[in-house]
Structure 1
Amino acid sequence: MNRLEYLMSKYSELKFVYTGRMADFQGATIYNDHVYINENRSYQQNLQDVAEEIGHYETTVGDISGQDGLNERRQELQARRYGYMLLVDLDSLIACYKNEIKTPWELADFFECSVSYIWKAIDAYRLKYGEKFDYKGYCFNLNGGFNMKKIR
């Protein structure tokens, strides 16, 4: 089972539908309990797009498709950050550290996403927890990159 299939199985209350009827720039969209996925995009793009739509499912209130107001833009950003942290989770980052997977390119391969997505996930953690934080016996240092070490 790849990461996209795993992610979809974790959210079995949602119905995931591949469609070719979406604009090229649009990766996915959620409407009620249906996530529509652009079948013309790569696996990697679909994985990242689905993570964001799950972020909308978990965090968004109301229709924010217009992006007209500050509240809509905040909710969009919140859903995107949720998706980053859903796909690039701290427990898996610890597993990467234990297996000496450390470079952004190795992390991207492990998480099946783009290198830029890894950096955006790291930025999301930096905004949420600060540049340095402890989690499950590991010190994460996000000052100017991604470093961690075991503290216990």
Structure 2
Amino acid sequence: MTYEQLLREAIHHGIDIYEKPMTPTVKGFYSDEVIWINKNIPTNVEKACILAEELGHFHTTIGNILDQTKIENRKQEKRARTWAYEKLVPLSKIVQAHKNGIRNRYELAEYLEVTEEFLDSAIKRYKEKYGFCTTIDNFTICFEPLGVLEMFDY
């Protein structure tokens, strides 16, 4: 899903989006149906990853969770990131990439229009959630090493 598509989705939900210059350590921020994206982020692919996470906060978090020393705030942060991973790196798209001949992480990140860092974090989260593999229809997705296996019908 592209940055432009995510922007349209945010607007559909009544969220205002602003791109503002921020310090390099801050990439995005969500509060009260407003999302700020760091204007200094160089690519729309990276901006899409940040926007997806901030949309995840809109959909999954409540209140101020800036203090990450609190367990509940860390849980909410994880829920928002998981929402973003499932939005931009759905398991069905990993299977589709396999069907289209994608054979490595670089190609997969490019196919999904996400950064390699975002893809790696998504795969790590899926491994936490499902273990080393999970099955979708007739396909088994292995997370370590990353690959897709197709099962045959008899």
> Shared topology, TM-score over 0.5?
yes
Within the alignment, does 1:101 sit opposite 2:90 as a pair?
Answer: no
Deviations 1:91-125 (A, max 9, x none): 21121011011200101111222222211111111
* Identical residues among aligned pairs (%): 26
**Take 1:149 and 1:9, find their aligned partners in 2: how far apart are those partners?**
35
Structure 1 match to 2:4:
5
Deviations 1:22-50 (A, max 9, x none): 22211111111111111111223211111
Dislocated runs of 4+, deviation >3 Å: none
Q: Aligned Cα RMSD in Å?
A: 1.7
* Letter of the 1:6 counterpart: Q
Query: After superposition, where does 1:48-87 map in structure 2 within 5 Å?
Result: 48-87=49-88
Structure 1: state its 5+ residue gaps. Answer: none
Within the alignment, does 1:150 sit opposite 2:150 as a pair?
Answer: yes
* Letter of the 2:105 counterpart: P
* Contact 1:85/1:125 (8 A) holds in 2: no
Structure 2 match to 1:17:
18
Structure 2 match to 1:88:
89
TM-score when normalising by structure 2: 0.87
Structure 2 match to 1:110:
111
* Letter of the 1:7 counterpart: L
**Take 1:102 and 1:56, find their aligned partners in 2: how far apart are those partners?**
32
Moved more, 10-19 or 93-102: 10-19
